[in-house]
Amino acid sequence: MADSLYFGASDLEDRTIRQVVALAMDAPAAAQSGHSGTAMALAPLATMLFSRVLAHDPSDPSWPDRDRFVLSLGHASILQYAIAHSFGYDVSLDDLRGFRQAHSRTPGHPEVGVTPTVEVTTGPLGQGLANAVGLALAERILRTDFGEDLVSHRTFVIAGDGCLEEGVSHEAASLAGSLGLSSLVVFYDDNRITIDGATSLASVDDAAARFRAYGWHVVEAGEVANDLDALEAATREALSDPRPSLVVLRTHIGFPSPAMMDRREAHGTPFSGAQISEVKALLGVPDEPFVSSADIAQAQRARLAPRAELWRERLSAAGPRGERFLTQWATYGALSDEVDAPHYDGGNVATRKAMQAAMDAFAPHCAGLTAGSADLTDNTGVLLKHSVAQGVANPGGRQIYYGIREFAMGAALVGQSLHGGMRAAGSTFFVFSDYLRSSLRMASLSHAGALFVFTHDSVGVGEDGPTHQPVEHLAALRAIPGLHVHRPSDANETIQAVEAYLRSRHPEPTALILSRQDMPVLTGEDATASREGAPRGGYVLREREDARVTLVATGSEVGVVLDAADQLTDQGVSVRVVALPCWTCFERQEASYRRDVLRRDIPSLSLEAGATLGWHRYVDEPLGIDQFGMSAPGAYVFQHFGITAARVVEQVLHREEAS
């Protein structure tokens, strides 16, 4: 064995660290892509955590009460893969050889559902830390509901300079501090190197002082990155405090490479063959690629307590309480009770008000639901009247006040949704989806079944003006693959959509786009068509076999085109009307259904109070708003931009004359 590089380590831990460091060089070198230096420097910390601190079980990687480990600096993914391999998880040498290659189980950044030990999909810096706030929130609520014998795990995060510089981490850390999330520990990899060079080029922050100001407990561990006993002591100190904790570690990127340590090139440049050989000589490991000692994983697995098995014994002993936990876990806390759904018989109702009516009816029966907003709870319809505000005083509270932190809210929703046993709803004005769009994207990428409620959905916001009037936002959200962007046609359709989301045993990421202003409630045959067709994402509201044109709309504009259809019928023009509340749902229908709904053999026209981008896929002539709005009363703004029945009638009659 080479001279000691790592202190306080058992022989097994020392061999594990050296193996992880070697693999952290080999995999990026083979891929000619990847980040070795950070993984090398953090190998002792990760080994200490998995060896001494984390409650985990390679024989059952997804048991509910495991500690969560989040590598927020996801570019260092090879660290997590090499650790998982070395501790006996189902990550083979072939998987490591396939690092960053097509269809491998070791992608360039950790992806949940692909590799064991990966809890959330990390990559965009800072989001892993913010996801972890959601994970810790879910744990606290479930622990309060089911007891510490069934739920008592911690969330550990490794974050870097980039994570702490990104704005989402500021929001998330402030939120975690205000909530007092005691089961959250973040390790700050203070290596002082970024891709451009020294961190001092762009940041002179005092991270420790900043986190103390957020209400965190801070452990300034100093130069202990290679001392496992000191790392453990710092971790135990962090866990002993009732606040969330930041452990600041001074590390040296690329350690122990004489050529690459503390250099910016160690960040994202694979090491050369000569540099790898030099480090392996220092490590005392064979100078061959992908050398792994099978006895390391076997020994690590053997020394770990059978955590999952012991937990299942406690679960069995819990009787009915344990059964309730398993049901909630398996269904993400789905609504299962028979509940009388609210119903509107005509009139005019804003869909955001219908959202609140749905929450009033369904939320008390949905055990896994949390809800909150970015400081707009009364405006967006997500007030849980049966619950209390989440916080230290009410650890089981389902009402979460996220503050004016849209991005952190979105990321925390993802964390809660991926934790298990929970489903989370968050809300804000639609225009502010800009602030959290990256977390929306990550929700869809990671199949996190969160509900994003966006109200004040159009220029109907009125006097607040173009800064608050969403125009391009529907097109932007619809472009996210797999995200269900649902703009209901009326209040009852809104309630139906909320109930369907809450009843789903495997909810998908969903964005509900709701109106500020009152809009007509569908009645008669129109209401029947909505009730039957809305779940399919698109449906025929009014069919006419002799129709000469199809009018298509979403949201509040459905009522407008129905009015236009009545006027055109009075003028002898036969019209059919289609609603397309959710394009993603509609595209999942069979081709014959979509053809029957759209009937592209006759001219078609759409109306939506937003950008027309994307509408040519469904209609011949889209009418909308392809510019920013204006500050004026909402009715005037709609009139000014032609979101009116009169404009639809005019366009159809013009087509009739031209043909």
Q: What residues are annotated to the active site?
A: 406
Question: What do you get for the CA distance between the two ends of the chain, in Å?
Answer: 88
In 3-state terms, the chain is what percent helix, strand and coil (to 5)?
45, 15, 40
Residue type, 121: T
121-158 in b/e form (b: 16+ CB < 10 A) is bbbbbbbbbbbbbbbbbbbbbbbebbeeebbbbbbbbb
**DSSP-H helix ranges across 514-642:** 524-533, 557-570, 583-587, 591-598, 634-640
Rounded Cα–Cα distance for residues 127 and 580 (Å): 33
Residue type, 100: R
Q: How far apart are CA 561 and CA 489, in angstroms?
A: 11
Q: How far apart are CA 214 and CA 193, in angstroms?
A: 25
Q: Are 133 and 156 in contact (CB under 8 A)?
A: no
**CA–CA dist 381, 361 (Å, integer):** 12
Q: How many residues does the chain have?
A: 659
Q: How far apart are CA 420 and CA 139, in angstroms?
A: 9
- CA distances to 423, 540, 626 from 528, in Å: 30, 11, 33
Cα–chain-centroid distance for residue 420?
Answer: 13
The total of other beta-carbon atoms located within 10 Å of residue 302's CB is: 10
Q: For residues 21 and 280, is the Cβ–Cβ distance under 8 A?
A: no
Distance CA 385, CA 7 (A): 54
The total of other beta-carbon atoms located within 10 Å of residue 474's CB is 29
Using DSSP, state whether 489 is helix, strand or coil: coil
Query: Alpha-carbon Rg of the chain, whole angstroms?
Result: 28
Q: State the DSSP code for 193.
A: B
User: What are the DSSP E strand ranges found in 196-330?
Assistant: 217-222, 245-250
Phi (first) and psi of residue 354, to 5 degrees: -65, -35
540 pairs with which residues across the strands?
Answer: 578
Question: What φ, ψ does residue 145 adopt, rounded to 5°?
Answer: -75, -40
Residue 454 is encoded by which pair of tokens?
């966006």
**Which residues partner with 452 through β-bridges?**
426, 511
